[in-house]
């Protein structure tokens, strides 16, 4: 097997192709740390050379707001230069692409790991950041240290999407590591209006990851790519296969919904728009529309603080154990509890009960179940009070 394009049997599965690529890269030492590459987006050797090809894409320069520019081929002119907002996956081999976006002074959006706390984080380098600081911001640690959550209400318009891949064909067919997050992220961006039909999708891989992929393996939720960057070449796929048109709810199980809070929020939004949504396990049941978790209303004044007092001890214990607590931190001096309550109402995230600790610059929001708490966390991402971004996350001590 050569280190260039591989040819695979038409009878193989996606899992076969992944295993084939992972085994070949390990056997031929074609990847850097972390190793082994199995079950990962491989950090292939030559990733920096592949990343250096991105500024040569006009689609990247389309997003450019600064003066950073490299020579562009006539064929690819317009991809990178005109893009203003670029979404790049957090995979290690895409670190150089994240750096290129920051150097070009584009808005860099990075998905949250496994979509646990939201969809995007916006990377915000310190004022006057040097190239070394930008390099740090492009790393996984930098993404954690220099990012601000972007909520679903933010007016995001992504001009260029960069995803990691395990395998990709010259026709634009793509295979990830099998968890479906890149496909899901794109579908969610469609649902929130963050991408259009002509939004360009790019991937960066080693030459050996460019393989033949039977089109029969592709499903309607699979994301295809328009450009492939390798250490030795830039491939324009000319792919005409439609990209995902939104979230395919009939392929989303309740278990998946429970793991990804932002999905619950999007489900609630589509319900509010009057759309009928049926989850995967409910297709065979009666066509009752799925009820999304609606954030709780604020407790009216005068209503007892401890609703548990109305229940018997056994029921009280059961209800207490089902409640979920959300931590709100970084509350600046001078902020009043009424201001926080108003912000919660505006984002439809009012809790069952609120514990205010202004002197400690924090508050705790108690919701009646974990599903509602997760939806509230997503709704509150990116919330600021008097210019100070709040930190919103599940409380460490749920008791």
Structure tokens at 132: 């070394």
Residue 61: pLDDT over 70: no
Task: Identify the band that residue 225 occupies on the pLDDT scale cut at 50, 70 and 90.
Answer: very high
Ranked by mean pLDDT, which of 101-110, 275-284, 302-311 comes out on top?
101-110
Query: Does residue 354 sit within a domain?
Result: yes
Query: Does residue 268 sit within a domain?
Result: yes
Q: What pLDDT does residue 286 have? A: 43
Query: Does residue 241 sit within a domain?
Result: no
Q: Per-residue b/e over 164-195, b at no fewer than 16 CB within 10 Å?
A: bbbbbbbbbbbbbbeeebbbbbbbbbbbbebb
Co-location of 270 and 212 in the same domain:
no
Query: Does residue 369 sit within a domain?
Result: yes
Domain extent at residue 269:
249-283
Co-location of 159 and 138 in the same domain:
yes
Query: Does residue 65 sit within a domain?
Result: no
Q: Which of 236, 270, 297 is the last residue of a domain?
A: 236
Co-location of 275 and 354 in the same domain:
no
User: For the domain that residue 53 is a member of, what is the CATH number?
Assistant: 3.40.50.10420
Q: What pLDDT does residue 82 have? A: 67
pTM of the model: 0.67
Among 23-32, 211-220, 272-281, name the one with the lowest average pLDDT. Answer: 272-281
Q: What pLDDT does residue 115 have? A: 77
Co-location of 203 and 338 in the same domain:
no
Instruction: List strand residue ranges (DSSP E) for 182-273, in order.
Output: 200-204, 227-229, 234-236
Task: Identify the band that residue 175 occupies on the pLDDT scale cut at 50, 70 and 90.
Answer: very high
Contact call for residues 88 and 101 (beta carbons, < 8 A): yes
User: For the domain that residue 390 is a member of, what is the CATH number?
Assistant: 3.30.70.330
Q: What pLDDT does residue 168 have? A: 98
Query: Does residue 294 sit within a domain?
Result: no
Co-location of 267 and 139 in the same domain:
no
Phi/psi for 205 (5° steps) reads: -145, 170
How many domains does one find in the chain?
Answer: 3
Contact call for residues 221 and 244 (beta carbons, < 8 A): yes
72 versus 273: which is more confidently predicted? 273
Co-location of 150 and 32 in the same domain:
yes
Residue 252: pLDDT over 60: yes
Co-location of 168 and 253 in the same domain:
no
Co-location of 227 and 96 in the same domain:
yes
Task: Identify the band that residue 308 occupies on the pLDDT scale cut at 50, 70 and 90.
Answer: very low
Co-location of 192 and 277 in the same domain:
no
Q: What pLDDT does residue 59 have? A: 63
Q: What pLDDT does residue 226 have? A: 96
Q: What pLDDT does residue 107 have? A: 94
Q: What pLDDT does residue 322 have? A: 75
Among 12-16, 335-339, 373-377, name the one with the lowest average pLDDT. Answer: 373-377
Query: Does residue 298 sit within a domain?
Result: no
Query: Does residue 224 sit within a domain?
Result: yes
376 versus 27: which is more confidently predicted? 27
Among 35-49, 174-188, 280-294, name the one with the lowest average pLDDT. Answer: 280-294
Co-location of 41 and 124 in the same domain:
yes
Co-location of 19 and 158 in the same domain:
yes
Taking alpha carbons only, the member of 372, 364, 356 closest to residue 322 is 372
């Amino acid at each position: 097997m050569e280190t260039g394009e591989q040819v695979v049997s038409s009878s193989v599965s996606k899992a076969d192709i992944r295993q084939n690529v992972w085994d070949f890269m390990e056997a031929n030492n074609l990847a850097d740390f972390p190793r082994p590459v199995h079950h990962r987006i491989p950090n292939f050797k030559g990733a920096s050379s592949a990343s250096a090809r991105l500024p040569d894409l006009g689609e990247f320069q389309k997003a450019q707001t600064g003066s950073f520019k490299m020579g562009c081929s006539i064929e690819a002119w317009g991809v990178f230069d005109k893009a203003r907002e670029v979404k790049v996956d957090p995979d290690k081999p895409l670190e150089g692409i994240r750096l290129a976006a920051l150097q070009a002074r584009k808005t860099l959006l990075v998905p949250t790991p496994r979509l646990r706390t939201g969809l995007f984080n916006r990377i915000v380098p310190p004022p006057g950041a040097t190239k070394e600081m930008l390099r740090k911001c492009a790393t996984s640690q930098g993404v954690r240290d220099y990012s601000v959550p972007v909520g679903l209400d933010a007016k995001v318009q992504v001009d260029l999407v960069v995803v990691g891949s395990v395998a990709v064909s010259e026709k634009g067919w793509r295979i990830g590591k099998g968890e479906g997050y890149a496909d899901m992220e794109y579908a969610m961006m469609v649902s929130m209006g963050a991408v259009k039909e002509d939004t360009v999708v790019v991937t960066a891989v080693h030459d050996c990851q460019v393989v033949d992929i039977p089109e029969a393996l592709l499903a309607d939720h699979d994301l295809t790519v328009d450009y492939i960057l390798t250490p030795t070449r830039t491939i324009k796929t000319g792919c005409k296969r439609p990209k995902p048109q939104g979230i395919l709810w009939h392929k989303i199980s309740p278990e998946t919904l429970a793991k990804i809070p932002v999905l619950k929020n999007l489900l609630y939004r589509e319900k509010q728009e009057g759309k009928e949504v049926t989850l995967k396990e409910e297709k065979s049941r009666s066509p009752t529309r799925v009820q999304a978790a609606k954030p709780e209303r604020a407790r009216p004044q005068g209503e007892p603080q401890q609703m548990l007092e109305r229940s018997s001890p056994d029921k009280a214990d059961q209800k207490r154990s089902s409640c979920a607590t959300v931590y709100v931190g970084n509350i600046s001096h001078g902020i009043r509890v009424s201001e926080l309550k108003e912000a919660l109402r505006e984002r439809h995230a009012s809790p069952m009960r609120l514990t205010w600790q202004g002197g400690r610059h924090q508050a705790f929001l108690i919701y009646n179940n974990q599903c509602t708490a997760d939806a509230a966390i997503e709704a509150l991402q990116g919330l600021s009070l008097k210019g100070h971004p709040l930190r919103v996350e599940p409380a460490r001590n749920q008791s």
